[in-house]
Chains A and B, each alone.
Chain A
Amino acid sequence: MNPELRELYQSVILDHNKQPRNFGELPDANGRAEGHNPLCGDHLSVAVKIEDGRLLAIAFEGDGCAISTASASLMSEAVKGLPVSEVRGLFERFHGLVTSDPTQESAPPDLGKLEVFAGVREFPIRVKCATLGWHTLQSALNSGDSVSTE
């Protein structure tokens, strides 16, 4: 197996794919959205519970590849408890991580566990998989009564 592949499918990602965290329903959610990746037929839904401008709980469901499932799973852990106002900035840094030019030196993204997705840079076609959960989360935050908490 070549190093790029090993980097893409490292054990943390495979683990979150097999046992996604915060997977399932969120009965008392006050924001929801559906996300689709038409290229591969992936779809997932993200539900959030927001109180006082803080993302108290998050859950996701769906059917996707290892990269999109693990990304949504790790995202759910990373954003839980965060002020909603900080989620967008975190997504922007994550997006930068997975789309940056792998041949260029860049400042450490300071993304903690989310840095396992750095390997996606080598696979531009998979960027959409890695960001599907994040895009869906953004929509969920902008949906229904959660919009007012922004």
Chain B
Amino acid sequence: MRLDVERVRKDFPILQQKSHGKPLVFLDSAASAQKPQVVIDSISEFYAKSYANVHRGVYELSLRATEVLENARRKVAGFIGGEERETIFVRNATEAINLVARTWGRKHVSRGDEILITHMEHHANIVPWQLLCEEVGASLVVAPIDDAGQLDLQAFEALLSPRTRLAAVCHVSNTLGTVNPVAELARLTHACGARLLVDGAQAVPHQRVDVRGLDCDFYAFSGHKLYGPSGIGVLWGRAELLEDMPPFLGGGDMILSVSFEQTLYKEIPYKFEAGTPDIAGAAGLAAAVDYLDNLSLEAISRHEHDLLDYATARLESVPGLRILGNALPKAAVISFVLEGVHPHDIGTILDQQGVAIRTGHHCTQPLMQRLGVPATARASFALYNTRGDADALVEAIEMTRGMFA
């Protein structure tokens, strides 16, 4: 099945607008993706017709709202090949990783233990582990990457030790687009008795993810990068691990019974969902999952890889432009620097041409140091982007070069 991008674009109302008088060319979906009308409608429809609190009332509306939430859980679990009870709603991937650090981490990581990450991690997959290490007296170990931006697999394996409790890696690098061989990393990690957490924020919108096939232990992602609403994210974890973990936040909705002497917690996943959840967000996320399933992730992936190849070739022909990250395989994220022009200036000038890209360190400051640059410009492609968008990008970069010549 081929992706009909012109039809797809009509599904995204925000793409119909102009930016600085020019057609909007949105190339920052790796930061957050735009929303199709069906997602927007699902939220307003839920508020207009089915809203009430969940898991509480015996009245019809509450039952209907509960069904909306649990239907979303069913869809999301199916989308990644997990079970419903293993699928926990959180705010975003950052919160999902913090949840694991604060619960599983505090229980299973102690003084002298090690947590292994990679040099390409987002701050969200660095800082929670630093906090944990500081708290319990464990060490953070960093697996190196090569100049193409690929994980050094041999070094990763060599750094795994009997002291390693957990490896935490991104599935796809938000800065370089590098796709990590997660199934292989799971095999290596498990072979030394450790667990594997995968930050999948950049992977789920672009490729079919099957947590069982990957054989990871935890998988975290955000709804907003998946064309869903901001404010909802997902932590998937193996049931046997989740059952053994202490709760994250305490409060209503996560308890079986509370007395001042003892509180009993609900079964998973509810044990980890204290307080009223983002029910409307779940409705929107379910609509986003349906939308992607209808288009087919395989078709989306093919479309984005065509854009990646096309844009890479066009950008490589720009004098003075250097692309950072040439991993194989690679997702449709292109980080680049332009000789003599700071990324921040590129960002401002491109914006005035209607081209929205991200500039800066992309929440990966250690990676920037490894690459030897203070910042990069980053164009990321999504299902609604076209070759014309890549042309507009290149044209605006040429204009920038002209200004700074």
The answer to whether A and B interact is yes
Q: Taking the nearest CB of chain A, how far is it from the CB of B51, in angstroms?
A: 37
Q: Taking the nearest CB of chain B, how far is it from the CB of A65, in angstroms?
A: 4
Interface bits A120-133 vs B (CB < 8 Å: 1, else 0): 00010110010000
Interface bits B194-220 vs A (CB < 8 Å: 1, else 0): 000000000000000000000000000
Tell yes or no: A4 within 8 A of B by CB. Answer: yes
Tell yes or no: B242 within 8 A of A by CB. Answer: no
Interface contact A66-B399, CB-CB below 8 Å: no
In the bound complex, residues from chain B placing their C-beta under 8 Å from that of A43 are 374
Tell yes or no: B345 within 8 A of A by CB. Answer: yes
Tell yes or no: A42 within 8 A of B by CB. Answer: yes
Contact residue among B343, B359, B365, B403 (Cβ-Cβ distance under 8 Å from A14): B403
Contact residue among B341, B352, B365, B375 (Cβ-Cβ distance under 8 Å from A66): B341
Contact residue among A41, A42, A63, A125 (Cβ-Cβ distance under 8 Å from B365): A41
Given contacts A2-B352, A5-B349, contact A129 B403 (CB under 8 A): no
In the bound complex, residues from chain B placing their C-beta under 8 Å from that of A64 are 342, 344
In the bound complex, residues from chain B placing their C-beta under 8 Å from that of A129 are 344
Chain A residue at minimal CB-CB distance from B361:
A41
Given contacts A40-B359, A64-B342, A66-B341, contact A9 B403 (CB under 8 A): yes
Interface contact A40-B360, CB-CB below 8 Å: yes
Interface bits A1-23 vs B (CB < 8 Å: 1, else 0): 11011001100001001100000
Q: How far is B342's CA from A1's CA once the two chains are assembled, in angstroms?
A: 19
Tell yes or no: B145 within 8 A of A by CB. Answer: no
Interface contact A41-B375, CB-CB below 8 Å: yes
Interface contact A63-B374, CB-CB below 8 Å: yes
In the bound complex, residues from chain B placing their C-beta under 8 Å from that of A66 are 341-342, 345, 404
Task: Count B interface residues, CB 8 Å.
Answer: 21
Interface contact A126-B348, CB-CB below 8 Å: yes
Interface contact B348-A40, CB-CB below 8 Å: no
Chain B residue at minimal CB-CB distance from A66:
B345
Q: Taking the nearest CB of chain A, how far is it from the CB of B377, in angstroms?
A: 11
In the bound complex, residues from chain B placing their C-beta under 8 Å from that of A17 are 404
Q: How far is B344's CA from A125's CA once the two chains are assembled, in angstroms?
A: 10
- Can you pick out 20 interface pairs between chain A and chain B where the beta carbons lie within 8 Å of each other? A1-B403, A2-B21, A5-B348, A5-B352, A8-B348, A9-B345, A18-B340, A39-B360, A40-B343, A40-B375, A41-B375, A42-B342, A42-B344, A63-B374, A64-B344, A65-B343, A66-B342, A66-B345, A66-B404, A129-B344
